[in-house]
Amino acid sequence: MASIDEIKKERLKKLERIQGARLRQGYGEAKESAYPASTKRTHIVAEALVDFAKLSKSKKEIFLVGRIRAIRGHGGSTFLNIEDGTGGIQAYLKKDGVGEKAYQSFLDLFDIGDFVQLRGTLFKTKKGEKTLEISSYKMLAKSLLPLPEKWHGLQDEEERFRKRYLDLMFNPEVKAKFEIRAKIIRTLRMFLDEQGFLEVESPVLQSVYGGADAKPFRTHINAFDMDMYLRISLELPLKRLMVGGFEKVYEMGRVFRNEGVDRQHNPDFTMLEFYWAYADYKDMMKLTEEMFSYLLAGELFGTKKIWYEERAIDFKTPWPRVEYRDLIKTHTKLDIETLNRDALAKEAQKLGLVIESTWGKGKIIDEIYKKYCRPKIWEPTFVIHHPSEMFPLAKQRPENPQEAETFQLVVAGGWELVKAYSEQNDPLVQRKAFEAQESLFRKGLEDAQRMDTDFVEALEYGMPPTAGFGMGIDRLAALLTNTHSLREVILFPTMKPRHDINIQDRIGLSDKTEVRKTRKDARH
């Protein structure tokens, strides 16, 4: 069996022949190109199949394009299968139809994997298969590498994610997931637009990062000779817009967090955030229920019931509202209101958690919740009233300042889909919250939020009572496509390089010093 290098070498020879050949294929004599810019297509494959009866009866010639997925020779005739983005169809090439020279040229120069343009008429074979009889053909793109003969799907997961183009090509169910993801995003935008929200954009590069508890990616802008950060959240710029007079805004975009990678986390992901003036977290819970009803019961699924990991989940509203402290008490017997930081740390250690000295009480509580409470939630549930320390940008509850006006939507054994709250609009309280976070940062808590004096100044001009909402689109797509890991619903998930030496091949450098310099630059 020929190696990949041998196959590529043979195909390069074919490429040279195509580029230099003069073939007569119904277009007159002209110098051929294996990668022409122009294409003629009158029908997509799906249209040809749907309108087959009419087109075959009329004997009208049509143009189809696509990738060759199979070639089967039978003496003076050859069957091939092509696929475009809408489906596949069989095509039939015979020596008597295109001429001996053109027929032999196809056999000599075309391979599985090539993109082609085919002209011909539709007919049914004796076996009843819908087929295009080719009267002329044209190369659209020569494939230099062979397609895998057998794709192993989940058995070769790492390769699937590194070479997503092959994954999409050989696994139609994967492509279907990304089509559903696109519909989810489109439907969410439609809902927000209909509710009167305005889509906006905020900077990816920020001089001060904030809006979430996360470590940022750091970069440098040469023009200003200053360090910048990739945003970890969309929140603070959008709330500045509320100060400026907008009452309903949303943004859907990539955010970046320099943290661990697992089934629910990727270093860059898509976030939807929106802000609603003159509303609070209770209003936002009702709107969230309306949004999911719109998303699921509309054209996307037509039902509020989905399946995830062989369990039915019913999104019928209203959803239960469960107190955060009650969840912890139910599953661990701990009363977080009566325990101070050190006492809680000892109880957490008894539960098997490793507690770091830099963690405050809120961080310890959250680790207990994530391990012992969240995985037990399967039906859509609003977990409400988290400790204020955990939400420095949220309003405190007037009846209990130790708790915040917050909720998280949790479902399917621990998928946290939504985090939302009544936004803190008191600049004096907000400043104190930032100062407390800065103190934690100085003690070594790297993902503590930082002081943003410009944002506090914006609040001093006045921001109306506002409710805010944040949701990870990747997690939502994973849930609604019954997918275990985010990497399955992110087209190009972050992957660790297999071999560092491949950097030299990828960037085309031959000098090792230059390669080392490139690696060094990439770290800054």
pLDDT in tens, 211-246: 988 999 999 999 999 999 999 999 999 999 999 999
Q: Which three-class secondary structure string do you get for 335-364?
A: CCCCCCHHHHHHHHHHCCCCCCCCCCHHHH
Which pLDDT score is estimated for 499? 60
Scan for tokens 């000779």, then name that residue. Answer: 225
Residue of 3, 6, 37, 35 whose CA lies nearest to 19: 35
Closest among 402, 393, 399, 468 to 427, alpha carbons compared: 393
Task: Check if the beta carbon of residue 91 is closer than 8 Å to that of residue 80.
Answer: yes
CATH topology of domain 4-141: OB fold (Dihydrolipoamide Acetyltransferase, E2P) (2.40.50)
Report, in angstroms and rounded to the nearest whole number, the Rg of the chain calculated over CA atoms: 29
Specify whether the CB–CB gap between 252 and 477 falls below 8 A: no
User: Vertex 441, ends 440 and 443: CA angle to 5°?
Assistant: 65
The enclosing H or E element of 89 equals strand 87-94
491 with 164: CB under 8 angstroms? yes
pLDDT, averaged in runs of 10, over the chain (524 residues): 90 91 43 88 98 96 97 92 96 94 95 97 96 97 86 62 90 94 97 98 94 92 95 97 98 94 93 98 98 92 93 96 96 93 94 90 92 96 95 96 96 96 97 91 84 95 98 97 95 80 39 37 39
Are 456 and 426 in contact, with CB atoms under 8 Å apart? no
Positions of CATH 2.40.50.140 in the chain? 4-141
Q: Whole-angstrom Cα distance, residue 314 to residue 307?
A: 9
DSSP state of 231: -
**pLDDT at 31 (0 to 100):** 57
The pTM for the full model equals: 0.86
β strands within 433-518, DSSP E: 466-472
Which pLDDT score, from 0 to 100, does residue 21 have? Answer: 56
**Sequence-distant (≥ 6) Cβ neighbours of residue 119 within 8 angstroms:** 26, 40, 61, 62, 63, 134, 135, 136, 137
Percent of residues in the chain assigned helix, strand, coil, to nearest 5:
40, 25, 35
Q: Where in the chain is the domain with CATH 3.30.930.10?
A: 168-320+379-488
Compute the residue count for the chain.
524
pLDDT at 300: 85
Is CATH 3.40.50.720 correct for 168-320+379-488?
Answer: no
The widest CA-to-CA distance across the chain, in whole angstroms, is: 90
The Cα 16–Cα 30 span in angstroms is 16
What is the rounded CA–CA span in Å between residue 248 and residue 278?
Answer: 10
